[in-house]
Amino acid sequence: MGDSFTEGLWDPYPDAPDVQRGWADNLAASLSARRIAAGDAPLEYANLAIRGRKLRPIVAEQLDVAVSARPDLVSLVAGGNDILRPSADVDAISAALEDAVVALRATGADVLLGTGFKAGGTLSWTNGRVGVFNANIWTIARRHGARVLDLWGMRSLADLRLWSSDRIHLTPEGHQRVANAALAALGLEPDDDAYDTPLDAAPPAAFRETARANAAWMRQHVGPWVKRRLTGTSSGDGRSAKWPTPQAWPRA
């Protein structure tokens, strides 16, 4: 369950570039491989996430679908799109998240939550809100026995080279690192113990290069995002979940 982060932007499948892979698909592949190696049937996996969704619509659209699949494990990582709105009420979205966790845990499913990222640069203004939201997430997890994927605490994600050109979604390597962090959050050994090791230091960028990159970011990503806010549209309008029903994983 979730938004663009769990849908997997921008980590396209090599054989299907219009379909995003992302950390959750990678996590499912790893869990399934471990089941198969142990002689069990492959994992069955669904991904209901749709880009642009805020937390309450995620719960309204995806919770019943998830419950109907009688899952053993549900990841619910959401709230980032809410926090970017000027009128965000962090405690209200936290309450909605807790209600969803209660409903999922009542089915007997394990639940994996995810904290918000620690942002830098032009998005650092969100860190106060994210910090409150993260504190609420840890409290919700403690109350209801959920697991937490600690994205805020990942040192490697402070490196912009693990972020796509829009600066709010991960690169394929970033998604793979998060999948390993999710394995650790579930109490399992990661596939790569170095998943949170920072990248080697990058050479300093020239001022002109940085200015050119910032201008491109404003033109290609910030401008369209502001336009969607002004027109009341979303990048997820008209989209459906990429894997709406459980299927043996990895995909054929």
Cα–Cα distance measured from residue 222 to residue 168, given in angstroms and rounded to the nearest whole number: 11
Buried b (16+ CB within 10 A) or exposed e, 128-142: ebbeebbebbeebbe
Cα–Cα distance measured from residue 248 to residue 252, given in angstroms and rounded to the nearest whole number: 8
Q: What phi-psi label fits residue 116: left (phi over 0), alpha (psi between -120 and 50 degrees) or beta? A: beta
Element (H, E) at 93: helix 90-106
> What pLDDT is recorded for position 63?
98
> What pLDDT is recorded for position 211?
87
DSSP state of 71: -
> What pLDDT is recorded for position 178?
98
> What pLDDT is recorded for position 208?
87
Contact indicator for 188, 182 with CB cutoff of 8 Å? no
pLDDT digit string (tens) for the chain, length 252 residues: 999 999 999 999 999 999 999 999 999 999 999 999 999 999 999 999 999 999 999 999 999 999 999 999 999 999 999 999 999 999 999 999 999 999 999 999 999 999 999 999 889 999 999 999 999 999 999 999 999 999 999 999 999 999 999 999 999 999 999 999 999 999 999 999 999 999 999 888 888 888 888 888 889 988 998 899 889 999 999 999 999 999 999 987
DSSP state of 221: I
> What pLDDT is recorded for position 121?
87
> What pLDDT is recorded for position 207?
86
